[in-house]
Amino acid sequence: MSDVAASGGYWISAGATEIIASETTLTGSIGVFGLAPTFENSLSLAKIGQGRVSTNWLAGADKPTQTMDSRLARILNSTVERTYDDFCNIVGQARKLNATQVQAVAQGRVWTGAQALERKLVDRLGSFDDALARARELGKLPAGSGVIYYGTQPSDMGSWVKGLARQWNNPLGLVTAQLPLPAQESVRELKTVLETSFKDGQCSVFAHSLVDGQSIQ
């Protein structure tokens, strides 16, 4: 867990075999809330009236242009409570905490990574590299196993290519071992070119052909 892994972020993290957090990670926020805005007062200010006819009170009960029906409010409240109970049960099972211990850290409270460690919400403090190393150990993978990153693509091409060269599998995002042998050789060649092209933040190769191995400086 890096900058923030709270509420839904912690719910997801609870399914992990092991949780590593930064010391300043914002986490916890084990809680649930519901929000249903209504605008009937706005209509009144505009002198707009409304009326409806239905065979059941649930028909149109969620319309924001009218005051929320108290029966609907009870349904929404019970849904929130059930979801909160589910959240707490997941945390209790995953972190081996009893109901009292969970409630002591839940109810929407937010903790830093260091505080979460004290409260048994995470297993240890560490960096992203520590998490990668541990993931390799748990997966029984070699220490130098490559990593494919999923997320927002950097806005500039230079950053994107540098990141690709830093943790490289192959240019198509596939597992190299699954490619035909000639393609594997081309991938290894391109990897070498990329790793040696970036020096002091500058790129010495602007184009490289996998066909004839020629580079353009």
Residues with a known catalytic role: 7, 63
User: Is 49 buried (19+), middle (13-18) or exposed (0-12) by CB count in 10 A?
Assistant: exposed
Residues 6+ apart with CB under 8 A from 181: none
CA distance from start to end of the chain:
40
Beta bridge partners of 26: 4
What does the DSSP 8-state code read for residue 95? H
Q: Which helix (H) or strand (E) holds 163?
A: helix 157-166
Q: How far apart are CA 165 and CA 188, in angstroms?
A: 11
